[in-house]
Chains A and B, each alone.
With several copies, the nearest count.
Chain A
């Protein structure tokens, strides 16, 4: 794996439940090519009829497993999360 970073692209780490105002603010703040990582209560968005997630969404496996959430986005473990933070030099925690 190379260590090239996508200098303008942003990793958005979102841990808020879908009803939280910051959830929407995060989706609105995403640019094309950005990646969304759902953690903690944000993974409930995968089961929420009210939410439309961008194509480039990932979810933290442990948080999905705890909550019994399946869904059809790629899951990452904590090492995978480290890889993502390696790849993106711009990271916003919402």
Chain B
């Protein structure tokens, strides 16, 4: 366990703003050089789906924000393995490491936050 804060996103994109606002929190931590990781869990794995186009609903395409995560200093991205399979996201994504969000996983982090 290090000092890293794990930000969990378990809501699908575009239907509400919770994931965006969680991402803003993660980016803020990174901007202040605090270690932060992201976990996409449950319906939140749909953030990682290829081929998104937010313009269709007049929102920003969230996967683009995500692409910038590493640039912003968010070092680790994780995806819920079972949820990826459930939503047909079987390919390994370049962005995220597949994990099982069990107690052992959560304990790798100093703090766990979800909105």
- Give A residues with C-beta under 8 Å from B: 8, 10, 15, 17-19, 21-22, 25, 28-31, 34, 40-41, 44, 47-50, 61-63, 65-69, 90, 92-94
Interchain CB contact under 8 A, A25 and B87: no
Given known A28-B102, A31-B103, contact A63–B57 (CB-CB < 8 A): yes
Q: How far is the CA of A88 from the CA of B61 in the complex (A)?
A: 34
Would you call the interface of chain B mostly helix, strand, loop, or mixed?
Answer: loop
Residue of A nearest to B86 (CB): A49
Given known A21-B42, A44-B43, A44-B87, contact A66–B103 (CB-CB < 8 A): no
Q: Which residues in B have their C-beta under 8 angstroms from that of A65?
A: 53, 56
* Residues of chain B from 83 to 108 with CB closer than 8 A to chain A in the complex: 85-88, 101-104, 106-107
Interchain CB contact under 8 A, B53 and A66: yes
Interchain CB contact under 8 A, B12 and A17: yes
Interchain CB contact under 8 A, B88 and A47: yes
Q: How far is the CA of A31 from the CA of B107 in the complex (A)?
A: 9
B75 within 8 Å of A by Cβ?
no
Q: Which residues in B have their C-beta under 8 angstroms from that of A90?
A: 111-112
Taking the closest CB of chain A, its distance from the CB of B52, in whole angstroms, is: 4
Among A49, A68, A93, the residue within 8 A (CB) of B85 is A49
Question: Contact string, B10-52, partner A, CB cutoff 8 A, digits 1/0?
Answer: 1111110000000000000000000000000111001001111
Interchain CB contact under 8 A, A25 and B10: yes
Given known A49-B88, A90-B111, contact A63–B14 (CB-CB < 8 A): yes
Q: Which residues in A have their C-beta under 8 angstroms from that of B112?
A: 90, 92
Residue of B nearest to A41 (CB): B15
